[in-house]
Amino acid sequence: DVKVTQSSRYLVKRTGEKVFLECVQDMDHENMFWYRQDPGLGLRLIYFSYDVKMKEKGDIPEGYSVSREKKERFSLILESASTNQTSMYLCASSSFTGAYNEQFFGPGTRLTVL
């Protein structure tokens, strides 16, 4: 059974803290993605990576950075957490072949910044 796991289901942090969200996939996928999900806004892409050490900005990269040192692991970093980063964060992976592009999602991390 294919699996994308995220390090925490719930996380509470304080304003200004550095926050790490970890994602691991066991499908040997090339591509990995970080989204945030907010009611009424759907999923918005923060960053994605199509290879180890490669990253590209998505639609809302401000305030975030990412790291991909190994193929199976993709980390999202909030350098200095702010209250407007309170959200649900979803990680996904895919093996994109040029056409069909199914993404597999983790269960999400609900982050609250106080």
- Window of 14-22, 35-43, 65-73, 75-83 that interacts with another protein by CB under 8 A: 35-43
CB of 93 to another protein, least distance (A): 11
CB of 104 to another protein, least distance (A): 8
What's the token pair of residue 29?
């996928």
The contact mask relative to another protein for 87-106 (x = CB under 8 A, - = no) is ---x-x-x-x-xxxxxxxxx
CB of 30 to another protein, least distance (A): 9
Q: Rounded to whole angstroms, how far apart are CA atoms 42 and 51? A: 26
Q: Are 111 and 86 in contact (CB under 8 A)?
A: yes
Q: Binding residue for another protein (CB under 8 A) from 31, 75, 85, 87? A: 31
Q: Are 74 and 32 in contact (CB under 8 A)?
A: yes
Largest Cα–Cα distance in the chain?
A: 42
Binding site for another protein (CB under 8 A): 4, 31, 33, 40-43, 45, 48, 50, 58, 90, 92, 94, 96, 98-108
